[in-house]
Amino acid sequence: MSTEEESIVTFGAGQALVGILSQPAPDAARQQVGCLLLNTGVNHRIGPRRMNVKLARRLAASGLPCLRFDMSGVGDSRPSTGTQDFRTQQLIDMRAALDQFQASTGLTRFLVYGVCSGAASAMRLAVADPRIVGALMFDGYVFLNPAQRVERRLRRMLAFPFNPSLRHLNPAWQACAAWLRAPRRMLAQRRAAPRDDASGPGDAADIFSADAPAYTAQDFAAELQLLVDRGVDVNLMYSAMLHVVDRDKDMLAQLRGHPSLARVRYRFWPEVAHTVTLLESQRLLLDAVDDWARAVAPPMRPLPAPAAHSPARAVRQPAQV
Amino acid sequence: MTPFYFGHGARRLFGVFHPPDAGTTLRAGVVLAPPFGQEAIRVHRFYRLLADRLARHGIAVLRFDFYGTGDSGGEDDDADLDAWAGDLAQAHRELLRRIGDRRVTWFAARLAAPVALRAVPLSFPRVHKLVLWDPVFDGMSYLTQLGAAQLDELEHAYCIPDAQWRRDFERDPLALSGECFGFALPERLRAQIQALTPRQSASAPGSVVSVVAAEGDTGARAWCEAVQAAYPGAMLRHSAFDHSLIWLSNAFPNNEMAPAPALQKMAAELE
């Protein structure tokens, strides 16, 4: 897709939010849904590894308009002047993005895509806004059970003697190796170093913990049920960061037996990292999201030209933010 | 601030213009040239805060993305230091078009530094000053850093990483540098980076140059020495500056995105 089909949009209270709308070429067939791409953490709207740009262009080439934008205070969007809490403000921002998307394209139904913290945001938006008809959450909520945690630890222990990366990541091993290499120097360093009782970085799995202490597997199951009952196409994808294998939707093991689980799409990717760092894994993910989006969208037909009137600004000329 | 597209033909570039704050008098202009790949993502917030700060002091700022990066058109395969030099010159013209005949300074971090040096002859009116932050003047060292960062990222991103990655890296530090943090290094870009050496890159652009680099950055020091040896009259200043921004990393707790001392230092260089 050429960049001529991309335009800058500013919207929300005081036009504080900035986004990029990617549209299919004017003479191309259009899908009847658009896709909203969310921020991940503090990364601005291009997404980690520029994946939101790649995905927006890929989906636009498949006929799906895409809007990627910065939430309040992230990237190029101004901070909110409101008094709402963080999550409430995010929901306000996402709904404002859907309003803008609707005004710019005439579409009324949307998919939402989010990675990591963006997946949690996608869940909140899907629950709150009936315009969402599909939600793809990559490495979103995880509810492992103790057996899987033990298995994960055992697998890493078994691989440890043969895997230099695991040894490199193990602080105890590194300290031991350093002692063996230069015991006198290590002793001197230990005597000189101040005692550090601060805890180090947590288990990598910490970032997958529910983002609010009160949000439990039961809460997730209830919201999942609400979505599938509404007909929302829920697609849960998980990377190889948390485990090596997945036999039966293991990332949601605490929900096992819940009726909603049978009605969602689920995929565990042993070859794809949480951050989609390898270019080959990016290609796999882009293919999968494109396939899913086209499967969820109803058959294509020509659409009327985008709405001329917009409550917000879709600009090719400069817009003050 | 005003986000907009500029450039010509199919080479469409994304930029953000920060006019001087209301009530201030326009004094000068600054173009912020971003580094490469993950480093550009890492520094996005820093650049925005720096632009806001300069705008409060009457300095108009243009931030932009090189072609094939950020919100600009193009893909990873379009990466090319020479073409990016043209993009920087284009951004320079765009800023001058907006602010009229004023002194313009370029701020270039990391790989944007050698791009900026290539772009100086393309700038008209000539850029007044270059501020080069942690510049990449030693290409092989930079590629090794990218490979090490790629390995570290992969090792943290998989429950059990592929053992071959570390073996390959220990055998050849450049083995993993064909891509880094999800960004491709196409063959042309790799060759251009490999060709960067402090001596080979030494040039006196005819503009004031301020190099701000870590105390232990031997590449930056060697470049400054090479320039001063070859061009005794060069308007060059080198200052050692260490900071806590980790260029090649993901954002995570206790990993600052915009360290206040660095913001203060760079704003002072540009005001």
Residues B198-253 have pLDDT tens digits of: 887 667 777 899 999 999 999 999 999 999 888 888 899 999 999 999 999 887 76
Q: Where do the H-state alpha helices sit in A31-140?
A: 51-61, 86-105, 117-128
Predicted confidence (pLDDT) per residue in A193-209, tens digit: 655 444 444 444 455 55
Q: Is B37 exposed, middle or buried (0-12, 13-18, 19+ CB in 10 A)?
A: buried
pLDDT, average across residues A162-182: 83
Strands (E) across B143-259 are located at 179-180, 183-184, 208-213, 236-240
Least trusted range by pLDDT, from A89-93, A240-244, A304-308, B173-177: A304-308
| C-beta atoms of A273 and B257 within 8 A | no
Name the 3-class secondary structure at A212. coil
Residues of A in contact with B3 (CB under 8 A): 8, 10, 18, 76, 318-319, 321
State whether residue B45 sits within 8 Å of chain A by CB.
Answer: yes
Closest CA in chain A for residue B63: A76
- Between chains, do B182 and A316 touch, taking CB under 8 Å as contact? no
What separation in angstroms does the CA of A30 have from each of A53, A65, A300, B21, B198? Answer: 19, 8, 6, 42, 52
Name the residue among B158, B63, B109 with its Cα closest to residue A76.
Answer: B63
- The neighbouring-strand residues paired with A135 are A112, A234
A16 in Cβ contact with A77 (< 8 Å): yes
Using an 8 Å CB-CB cutoff, list chain A residues near B184: 279
Query: Testing the interface with B: which of A154, A245, A277 to mutate, by most B Cβ within 10 A?
Result: A277
**Which amino acid would we find at residue B234?**
A
Beta strand pairing call for B236-240 and B183-184: unpaired
What are the residue boundaries of the structural domains of chain B, listed by start? 2-138+196-270
CB contact under 8 Å between B1 and A4, yes or no, is no
Number of Cβ pairs < 8 A linking chain A and chain B: 131
pTM value? Answer: 0.90
Contacts of A10 in chain B (CB under 8 A): 3
Q: Which domains does chain A have, with CATH numbers?
A: 3-142+208-315 (3.40.50.1820), 147-192 (no CATH)
Least confident of A69-83, A182-196, A232-246, A273-287: A182-196
Are the C-beta atoms of B265 and B212 separated by less than 8 Å?
yes
- Provide CATH code, domain B2-138+196-270: 3.40.50.1820
CA distances from A228 to A34, A222, A293, A298 (A): 19, 10, 17, 18
Q: Residue A277: enclosing H or E segment and its boundaries?
A: none
Q: Do A49 and B181 touch (CB under 8 A)?
A: yes
User: Within 13 A of B73's CA, how many CA atoms are on the CB side?
Assistant: 18
Distance (Å, rounded) from C-alpha B114 to C-alpha A27? 42
The residue with tokens 């895509």 is: A113
Distance (Å, whole) CA A28 – CA A294: 15
Q: In this predicted structure, what is the pLDDT of residue A197?
A: 46
A155 touches chain B (CB under 8 A): yes
pLDDT tens track for A71-119: 999 999 999 998 889 999 999 999 999 999 999 999 999 999 999 999 9
For residue B31, what are its two tokens? 């173009």
Cα(A221)–Cα(A225) distance, integer angstroms: 6
Radius of gyration of chain B (CA): 18
Residue B139 sits at the vertex; the CA angle it makes with B170 and B218, to the nearest 5 degrees, is 90
CB–CB of A123/A141 below 8 Å? yes
